[in-house]
Chains A and B, each alone.
Chain A
Amino acid sequence: MTIHNLYIFSKTGILLYYAEWNRLNKSGITKEEEAKLMYGMLFSIKSFVSKISPLDPKEGFLYYKTSKYTLHYFETPSGLKFVLNTDNASQNARELLQQLYREVYLEYVVKNPLCQLNEPIQSELFKIKVDELFKKSPLFLSRSL
């Protein structure tokens, strides 16, 4: 099981944080362009899901899967978006994202008055804690693919 990379978007679509661990294929565009592309796609999927759903969509879009990887999506009611790419064998990635929100984002961004909420996160402490959380997760195996 492997974690590839992580995106955090604010509710206005600003890329707050990006981190990668095992990523072999580069997109070939700048990080900013990639983030815009990613956010645009997520936004489209979200509205697609809520329009096409035959029932009340409740939580809406949860994840998608390709032959090689799975993209997990977790959005808080306040519009924060956590996006995590893992391999297809990874279970409970959503729980991990909720944990990231509760134990890292809340503690080290929201409760840090020096962190602006709608700007890319600069805090070193936050970076360290994210890294720690992911590396101790059972989803994380540092073997290269």
Chain B
Amino acid sequence: MSRTGTKLDAKKVNSELFTLTYGALVAQLIKDYENVEDANKQLERMGYNIGIRLIEDFLARTGSGRCYDFRDTAEKIQSGFKIFLGITPSITNWSPAGDEFSLCFETNPLTEFVELPDNCSNLKYCNILTGVLRGACEMVQMEIACWFVQDQLKNDNITELRVKFVKRLEDAIPAGED
């Protein structure tokens, strides 16, 4: 966290340090909850709390406005991954209605050096990302659902994150006199 300058330059962090810190977090959660499902849930929640703040960073850096349509959203999410994780997932598998798409990751900085032990086969290791996306989109008046359909840690070729548009949230109206 920067406390020194007001410069906007992206502070470069060693991705290995990030990977290992995240690994320590997941390991600790599994230990604390003794249950993979609860750890998944907790990761999503933590991601959500990150997302509602991270969106401000994203908006301030890119100066982007609200999204015209969901395709625009997809591209912005893609550029978000570029900014914060240094990867560019590909956008594929649009549903015919245009309200669902997939983000495919060939490499994922979160999962370097990671192998899942047998007793954790239900663990969604990167579940924090689903929370981040949900939290960030909620702050720009969009409710989305988000889940993993393929995971390299479970011997799939790629990691695929599915994103579905649920509904548009309404602007808050001023509180009335009560």
Listed in ascending order, the chain A residues whose CB lies under 8 Å from chain B are 11-13, 36, 39-40, 43, 58-59, 76-80, 98, 101-107, 110-111, 117, 129
Residues A117 and B64 in contact, CB atoms below 8 Å apart: no
User: With A78-B140, A110-B56, A111-B2 in contact, is A102–B174 under 8 Å at CB?
Assistant: no
Bitwise, B44-70 to A at CB < 8 A (1) or not (0) is: 000000001101110111011110000
Q: Which residue of A43, A59, A110 is within 8 Å of B53 (Cβ)?
A: A110
User: With A77-B65, A117-B52 in contact, is A101–B60 under 8 Å at CB?
Assistant: yes
Closest beta carbon of chain B to A43's beta carbon, Å: 5
List the 10 shortest-distance A-B pairs measured between CB atoms, nearest first. Answer: A103-B6, A102-B60, A110-B56, A77-B66, A78-B139, A12-B172, A106-B60, A40-B174, A13-B174, A77-B140
Contacts of A107 in B (CB 8 A): 2, 6
CB < 8 Å A-B pair total: 60
Contacts of A105 in B (CB 8 A): 56
Alpha-carbon gap, A104 to B177, bound state (A): 32
Residue B97, interface by CB 8 Å: no
Contacts of B53 in A (CB 8 A): 110-111, 117
Contacts of B139 in A (CB 8 A): 11, 78-79
Alpha-carbon gap, A142 to B52, bound state (A): 37
Listed in ascending order, the chain B residues whose CB lies under 8 Å from chain A are 1-2, 6, 8, 52-53, 55-57, 59-61, 63-66, 139-141, 171-175, 177
Residues A111 and B1 in contact, CB atoms below 8 Å apart: yes
Q: Which residue of A40, A59, A98, A106 is within 8 Å of B56 (Cβ)?
A: A106
Contacts of B1 in A (CB 8 A): 111
23 interchain pairs (CB within 8 A)? A11-B172, A36-B175, A59-B65, A77-B59, A77-B140, A78-B55, A78-B139, A78-B140, A79-B171, A80-B56, A101-B60, A102-B60, A104-B6, A105-B56, A106-B60, A107-B6, A110-B53, A110-B56, A111-B1, A111-B53, A111-B57, A117-B53, A129-B6
* New A-B contacts (16) at CB < 8 Å, excluding given A36-B174, A59-B65: A11-B172, A36-B177, A78-B55, A78-B56, A78-B59, A79-B141, A102-B60, A103-B8, A106-B57, A107-B2, A107-B6, A110-B53, A110-B56, A111-B2, A111-B57, A117-B52
